[in-house]
Amino acid sequence: MRALLQTRLMPAIAVAVLVTILPLSFSSAYYYRIGVLVFIFALAVVGLNLLMGFAGQVSLGHAGFLGIGAYSVAIGPVHLGAPSWLCLFGGAVLSGAIAFLVGRPILRLKGHYLAVATLGLGLLLATVLTNEARWTGGPDGMSVPGLKLFGWSVRGATAWYWIAGATFVCGFVLAFNLMESPTGRALQAIHDSEIAALVLGIDVARKKLAIFVISAVYASVAGSFLALFNGYITPDAAGFLRSIELVAMVVLGGMGSIVGSLVGAIVLVVLPQVLTIFHDYEQALLGLVVMVFMIFLRRGIVPSIAAAFAGRR
Amino acid sequence: MLILETDRLSVAFGGVRAVDEVCIAVESGQVFSIIGPNGSGKTTLFNLISGIYRPNHGSIHFAGETVTGLEPDRLARRGLSRTFQNLQIFSRMSVLENVMVGHHRHEDTGILADLVHWPSVQRQNAATREVALAALARVGLADEARRASDSLSYGALKRLEIARALASDPKLLLLDEPAAGCNPVETQEIDRVIRSLARDGITVMLVEHDMRLVMKISDRVHVLARGRTLAEGTPEEVRSNAAVIEAYLGDHGSREAVRAFG
Amino acid sequence: MAELLQFVSSGLTVGAIYALVALGFTLIYKASDIINFAQGEFVMLGGMTTVFATLAGVPLPLAALIAVVVTTAIGFALHRFAIEPARGASPVALIMITIGASIFLRGVAQIIFDRRFHSLPPLLGADPIRFGGAAILPQSLVVLAGATVIVTLLWLFIDRTLLGKAVIATAANRLAARLTGIDTRRVVDFSFAVSAAIGAVAGILITPIALTSYDAGTLLALKGFAAAMLGGIGSAAGAVIGGLLIGLIEAFAAGYLSSNYKDAVAFLIILVVLISIPQGLFGRAKVERV
């Protein structure tokens, strides 16, 4: 039993179990729906966490990639007649390609220069999505045809719960694997001391670019799911506020904590739902949460709890 | 065999010639020390050799090939490794993980394999762990492997950096003031480590202020002052060189040097 | 020709506002190495507070004064209560705090004010001045004049007063400044307060032309920031020139290319500048020493 508890993949198994048994407590489709949204955002956040918490880079424009994934499964089927699942892959490839092209020059930057460059990138992507109304439906967005897998229409919160949940667990496991691998160690090294990493033979530029591309792909897949699930997409999905929400989820849950990604997503997806009466206060609350966490709880929820436990022992 | 050679290596910052026409030749298996007063350009020379700075002119030859202007990571992949005067520890990682990173240039799993955690990755992790533990044992830190690196003492951290550099299996190891800030006990440890490295045939270049250490373990000593070569030779030759004594060792220093020879 | 003049005039007008925002960024950055994303909100608060004060019956000059005072206080509070407690955090963490503050201020403005567009009466009347075939708004001249006054005052202050020297000293080396007896915390407080005041005035000046709303700040901050980056962050002259340049480029892009992508100009400039000349036109490149 002990050996089982200590397997490397214990957190992943725990999460998979959680995902599986949670619906037992669901009393209506509403809860499934929340679950879907949580998994979608948690997926994007895991990717962003690999970039920010792990490799120590920053992206304030990550929703841009979310938007690309989302609009790929909208534009593809509607304007090009391509099947949704193919467009999902296409979106991921496109996101990866953009991340590759733009990442090469901007990842040379550090600190606030990198932050602003990624901000600019995200805004540029959002602007294109807003303006090319002929393709994207403009600021009002466009409707997204449902996903058809092997002739079966994927519809309803329940079906999407399992799809999003399974995909999230996969993304989770991949990220976990990466942490315990040569690439993962190299990325953490880059975070702690780029110069030492260089001097040990790590191709820093290439590693940073790789993780940037990977995190873009995570966001793109999440975005595609979001669009397919909701049946509709607007440019807000790629906007500045959305990018900041993603970063807030990373910070809340704990930078560098893969489990924290889920926690952060849960908090920032569930909270607005719970506070629907406070809808007008949403922005003010988001701003406040970001400020409070960045000032007082920079480590995030999961690492803080873990540290508290470690201290107590 | 000459493992490292620099030919009239020079670099200037603003108007200051930090390193000025320096020529050195390091034989394989030697312990080669660079000494000089503060500001004489020792660390700058190391930074040039390890690719962190680009020289304005002159050339560097490593293991028979011209490597002037190569980036640090490319030099590292040819077998050049170094430690830092101001410690560049991976403070978020454990002691063992720090050293495992040192072995990176020999790890050959791709990022996709890493994502999926193929058996090849598991094997690589195990192999790297072995190498890291061996390196830690050489510097006397094997028992601290699982500890967080930022919980180690200063002297231990200096040894950790050496272990990390060793894990890359270097042909040439540059140690930038490995004993700086260490108490006599820690310095003894560093001494022991460097001697064992030399015994195992690793070429070591040392920048150091601790004269006793330098005179004891070096095969050759190169003296820099204001960026230029002042003298070079065996420890005895250097310590009895009048110009060196005047410019650097001074009265106190030459007494230290005498004491070093017991 | 008339068209060209039109673009130049509107470009310079909005560019003057970007220049003031950029100046606010630069002042705070110089004093504390922080990039303050709430800078745009200062502009928004200046305009919105004035509007709602006048709607409540307060005469315009007094309303404007109240707005500047309130915004200045908010700028001060931002530093004291959000930034100071987090001193020592990484640059990215600090940016996130200011982004959080920006979103917070937006959210609060949304609640206290409303979500509509608002305007203010122009200072010199609304009839456009005909010049070379172009129609120039008198308010444009007010904006340009106001910006010039502010820049001059700021320059005089930095150059001629002791407190101004203290700001420069703090910017150059915080520890050294403290060792010479300068209360660096006060200095940074002050720079935040002054930046907020500048922003507020800019907001009041531009509202008659560009209108204002609770979310006008974000885009302004981004463009002001692009201007500061273009000029070279840390260079006050660069901020002004950068702002005017971006205003002009935007006006020409909107006129000759596509008005939809007007906003994208600033974003594109951010990327291009950071990729090719990160230190901007007048900034100094940093050398990292190991």
- The nearest CA of chain C is from the CA of A110 a distance in Å of 10
Which pLDDT score is estimated for C275? 84
Asked if the C2-276 domain carries CATH number 1.10.3470, the reply is yes
Which pLDDT score is estimated for A82? 86
Instruction: Examine the pLDDT at B48 and tell me if it is beyond 70.
Output: yes
Report, as an integer, the average pLDDT of B89-113: 91
pLDDT digits (tens, 9 = 90+) for B114-167: 888 888 898 999 999 999 999 999 888 999 899 999 899 888 899 999 999 999
Point out the residue among B82, B102, B121 whose CB comes nearest to the CB of A181. B121
> Quick one: tokens of C126?
């609304």
DSSP reduced 3-state for C146: helix
Q: Which chains touch B (3 or more CB pairs under 8 A)?
A: A, C
Which pLDDT score is estimated for C290? 45
DSSP reduced 3-state for A146: coil
Rounded to two decimals, the pTM is 0.89
Q: What is the DSSP string of chain B?
A: -EEEEEEEEEEEETTEEEEEEEEEEEETT-EEEEE-STTSSHHHHHHHHTTSS--SEEEEEETTEE-TT--HHHHHHTTEEE--TT----TTSBHHHHHHHHTGGG----HHHHHHT-HHHHHHHHHHHHHHHHHHHHTT-GGGTTSBGGGS-HHHHHHHHHHHHHTT--SEEEEESTTTT--HHHHHHHHHHHHHHHHTT-EEEEE-S-HHHHHHH-SEEEEEETTEEEEEE-HHHHHT-HHHIIIIIHHHHHHHHHHHT-
- The nearest CA of chain A is from the CA of C6 a distance in Å of 25
Which pLDDT score is estimated for B257? 62
Burial class from Cβ neighbours inside 10 Å (0-12, 13-18, 19+) for residue A164 reads buried
Question: Which of B52, B85, B90 is most worth mutating to test chain A (most A CB atoms within 10 A of its CB)?
Answer: B90
Closest residue in A to C36 (Cα–Cα): A112
Chain B residues 27-46 with CB within 8 Å of chain C: 43
Q: Do B13 and C287 touch (CB under 8 A)?
A: yes
Instruction: Examine the pLDDT at B34 and tell me if it is beyond 90.
Output: yes
Nearest-5° angle of CA B160, CA B163, CA B164? 85
Cβ-Cβ contacts under 8 Å between A and B: the total is 105
Which pLDDT score is estimated for A161? 92
Of the listed ranges A21-30, A273-282, C155-164, the least confidently predicted one is A273-282
- The nearest CA of chain B is from the CA of C287 a distance in Å of 10
Which residues from chain B sit within 8 angstroms of residue C290, using beta carbons?
43, 47, 52, 84, 86
Which residues from chain A sit within 8 angstroms of residue C270, using beta carbons?
116-117, 119-120
Which pLDDT score is estimated for A110? 83
Which pLDDT score is estimated for A107? 92
d(CA A14, CA A291): 31
d(CA B116, CA B94): 24
| Ranges of chain C with pLDDT below 70 | 284-290
Q: Do C274 and A120 touch (CB under 8 A)?
A: yes
Q: Do C290 and B13 touch (CB under 8 A)?
A: no
Task: Report CA torsion sign: B50, B54, B60, B64.
Answer: positive
- The nearest CA of chain C is from the CA of B85 a distance in Å of 9
Residue C287 at interface with chain B, using a CB cutoff of 8 Å = yes
Residue A1 pLDDT grade (very low, low, confident, very high; cuts 50, 70, 90): low
Cβ-Cβ contacts under 8 Å between B and C: the total is 6
Q: Do A174 and B115 touch (CB under 8 A)?
A: yes
Q: Which chains touch A (3 or more CB pairs under 8 A)?
A: B, C
- The nearest CA of chain A is from the CA of C103 a distance in Å of 5
Which residues from chain B sit within 8 angstroms of residue C287, using beta carbons?
13
Residue B114 and residue A182 in contact, taking contact as beta carbons nearer than 8 Å: yes
Q: Do A286 and C103 touch (CB under 8 A)?
A: yes
Residue A22 pLDDT grade (very low, low, confident, very high; cuts 50, 70, 90): confident
Q: Do B52 and C287 touch (CB under 8 A)?
A: no
What average pLDDT is seen over chain B? 88
Residue A307 at interface with chain B, using a CB cutoff of 8 Å = no
Beta bridge partners of B224: B229
Point out the residue among C82, C108, C222 whose CB comes nearest to the CB of A291. C82
Find all residues with CB under 8 Å of C254, minimum gap 6, and list them. C262
> Quick one: tokens of B139?
């510097």
Residue A183 at interface with chain B, using a CB cutoff of 8 Å = yes
Q: What's the residue count for chain B?
A: 262
CA atoms within 13 A on the CB side of B256: 16
Residue A246 at interface with chain C, using a CB cutoff of 8 Å = no
Structural domains in chain B, CATH included, are 1-79+172-262 (3.40.50.300), 88-169 (3.40.50.300)
Q: Do C287 and B84 touch (CB under 8 A)?
A: no
Q: Do A290 and C97 touch (CB under 8 A)?
A: yes
Task: Report CA torsion sign: C268, C270, C275, C281.
Answer: positive
Instruction: Examine the pLDDT at B250 and tell me if it is beyond 70.
Output: no
Residue C252 and residue C7 in contact, taking contact as beta carbons nearer than 8 Å: yes
Which residues from chain C sit within 8 angstroms of residue A102, using beta carbons?
271
d(CA A224, CA A144): 10
Q: Do C290 and B84 touch (CB under 8 A)?
A: yes
Chain A residues 12-51 with CB within 8 Å of chain C: none
Nearest to B248 by CA among B4, B89, B40, B50: B40
Residue C290 at interface with chain B, using a CB cutoff of 8 Å = yes
Point out the residue among B73, B88, B114 whose CB comes nearest to the CB of A203. B73
- The complex's ipTM works out to 0.87
In chain C, what's the furthest Cα-to-Cα distance?
61
Closest residue in C to B47 (Cα–Cα): C290
Q: What dihedral angle (degrees, nearest 10) is formed by the CA atoms of C277, C282, C288, C289? A: 150
